């Protein structure tokens, strides 16, 4: 039985090949009609005329899968440290700094209407700072810490905790020299190195600085103005660095406090830290509200280079209210103890060396004790 192979027609396509082509076309059309079909996808046909168009939620679009290979490498050892804000963006953790949530919940205080007092602690972080933070947290009190750059290394967690718990931090130089006796470059180096350590520990900076010993002049003012930092001094010097006696320190802090005041202490002395519970109780009993230095000034930006010794004082409605809020006694370190105020503890020394004068923008140029 023989087979006859049909010859090509005038069109150049044999009947057998034509049938195969038709079959392939039919199968291909059916396959293409199913491309993109997904159990969760919307129908390819639009809604009937007049019907409400479905919202974007109808189409389920899976989130883009992160490309781990494109992430920047987090270096270690001698490499550059990763910025905490970058880590937040990459890893999706809580916002940085962690105090953002707690700071938002803290009610705003208007120190023009209430009696505010700002507790400040210099020269830390130190071995007693964590204990001090525990004391402040127990009473929900916020303070301001002026840090020595050389003390931050090894205690970065303490600095982060200060910010996380709603406290404020400032620059207190790298090694506590008398800035008013140094050149512009040396002053700038002292502040810049400490700012670098603060940034390394927290990912941020600070617009506040406190010159060691309160020693400032036009040169320090010019450098800090260029760096965008305000100079924060004090209106009450407890002289805790001189008299290592908790009872004396507590007495001075409580009896010398005035509305809008800034109290100077040092968290590197255990006697000072042990005095804090009595200070908190005494000032609260006198009706003071504890604030940080930024809160003392209502959160407004302070003028770079300017010297601030205290904050705003509430306006009194009557002489009676004014007399009630200003009990007789010493006005800051410049007044001698016992002049109509509460008696000092037995065995206390004579009046301490006068501290910085009160008022914003007081004359500068001389070194003062403390700080």
d(CA 112, CA 225): 26
Instruction: Report cis status (omega within 30 of 0) of the bond before 3.
Output: no
- What does the pLDDT read at residue 23? 56
d(CA 216, CA 365): 5
d(CA 367, CA 371): 10
CB 364 within 8 A of CB 316: no
Active-site residues, by number, are: 122, 266
- What does the pLDDT read at residue 6? 45
Per-residue CA distances from 220 to 153, 232, 272, 308, 339 (Å): 25, 12, 29, 14, 36
d(CA 124, CA 104): 26
d(CA 248, CA 256): 12
Q: Which of 199, 233, 262, 243 is nearest to 366 (CA)?
A: 233
Terminal-residue alpha carbon distance, the chain: 118
- Non-local (6+) Cβ contacts of 283 within 8 A are 117, 253, 254, 257, 290
Per-residue CA distances from 32 to 20, 36, 40, 114, 136 (Å): 18, 9, 19, 75, 70
Q: What are the structural domain ranges in the chain? A: 108-315+326-334
d(CA 371, CA 369): 7
| String of DSSP letters for 158-220 | HHHHHHHTT-EEEE--SS---GGGS-HHHHHHHHHHHHHHHHHHHS---SEE--GGG---HHH
Pairing mode of beta strands 261-266, 236-237: parallel
Helices 246-255/270-285 angle, 10° precision: 30
Going residue by residue through the chain, which has 371 residues, state the pLDDT in tens, using 9 for 90 and above.
444 444 444 444 455 555 555 555 545 555 444 444 443 433 334 444 444 444 444 334 344 433 333 333 333 333 444 444 443 333 333 333 444 444 446 788 999 999 999 999 999 999 999 999 999 999 999 999 999 999 999 999 999 999 999 999 999 999 999 999 999 999 999 999 999 999 999 999 999 999 999 999 999 999 999 999 999 999 999 999 999 999 999 999 999 999 999 999 999 999 999 999 999 999 999 999 999 999 999 989 999 999 999 999 887 766 665 555 554 444 443 333 333 333 444 444 444 444 443 334 333 333 345 78
d(CA 124, CA 154): 12
- What does the pLDDT read at residue 66? 37
Q: Which of 215, 197, 111 is nearest to 155 (CA)?
A: 197
In 3-state terms, what secondary structure has residue 249? helix
In 3-state terms, what secondary structure has residue 322? helix
- The CATH superfamily assigned to 108-315+326-334 is Glycoside hydrolase/deacetylase (3.20.20.370)
Q: Which of 243, 262, 247 is nearest to 350 (CA)?
A: 243
Q: Where would I find the H helices in 228-290?
A: 246-255, 270-285
d(CA 352, CA 336): 8
- What does the pLDDT read at residue 25? 56
CB 262 within 8 A of CB 238: no
- What does the pLDDT read at residue 240? 98
- What does the pLDDT read at residue 349? 45
């Amino acid at each position: 039985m023989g087979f006859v192979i049909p010859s090509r027609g005038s069109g150049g396509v044999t009947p057998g090949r034509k049938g195969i082509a038709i079959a392939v076309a039919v199968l291909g059309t059916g396959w293409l009609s199913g491309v993109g079909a997904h159990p969760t996808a919307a129908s390819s046909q639009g809604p009937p005329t007049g019907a409400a168009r479905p919202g974007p939620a109808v189409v389920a679009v899976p989130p883009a899968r992160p490309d781990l290979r494109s992430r920047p490498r987090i270096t270690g050892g001698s490499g550059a440290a990763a910025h905490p804000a970058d880590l937040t963006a990459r890893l999706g953790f809580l916002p940085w700094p962690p105090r953002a949530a707690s700071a938002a919940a803290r009610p705003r205080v208007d120190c023009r209407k209430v009696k505010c007092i700002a507790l400040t602690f210099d020269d830390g972080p130190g071995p007693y700072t964590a204990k001090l933070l525990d004391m402040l947290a127990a009473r929900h009190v916020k303070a301001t810490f002026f840090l020595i750059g050389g003390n931050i290394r090894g205690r970065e967690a303490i600095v982060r905790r200060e910010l996380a718990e709603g406290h404020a931090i400032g620059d207190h130089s790298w090694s506590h020299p008398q800035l008013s006796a140094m050149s512009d470059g040396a002053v700038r180096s002292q502040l810049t190195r400490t700012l670098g350590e603060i940034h390394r520990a927290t990912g941020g900076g600070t617009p506040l600085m406190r010159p060691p010993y309160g020693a400032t002049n036009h040169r320090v003012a010019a450098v800090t103005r260029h760096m965008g930092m305000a100079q924060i001094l004090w209106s009450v010097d407890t002289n805790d660095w001189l008299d290592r006696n908790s009872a004396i320190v507590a007495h001075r802090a409580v009896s010398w406090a005035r509305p809008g005041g800034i109290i100077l202490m040092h968290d590197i002395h255990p006697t000072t830290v042990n005095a804090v519970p009595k200070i908190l109780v005494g000032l609260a009993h006198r009706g003071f509200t504890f604030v940080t230095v930024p809160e003392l000034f209502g959160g407004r930006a302070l003028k770079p280079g300017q010297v601030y010794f205290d904050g705003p004082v509430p306006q009194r409605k009557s002489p009676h209210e004014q007399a009630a809020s200003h009990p007789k006694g010493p006005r800051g370190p410049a007044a001698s103890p016992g002049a109509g105020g509460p008696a000092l503890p037995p065995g206390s020394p004579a009046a301490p060396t006068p501290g910085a004068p009160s008022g914003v923008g007081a004359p500068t140029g001389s070194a003062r004790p403390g700080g």
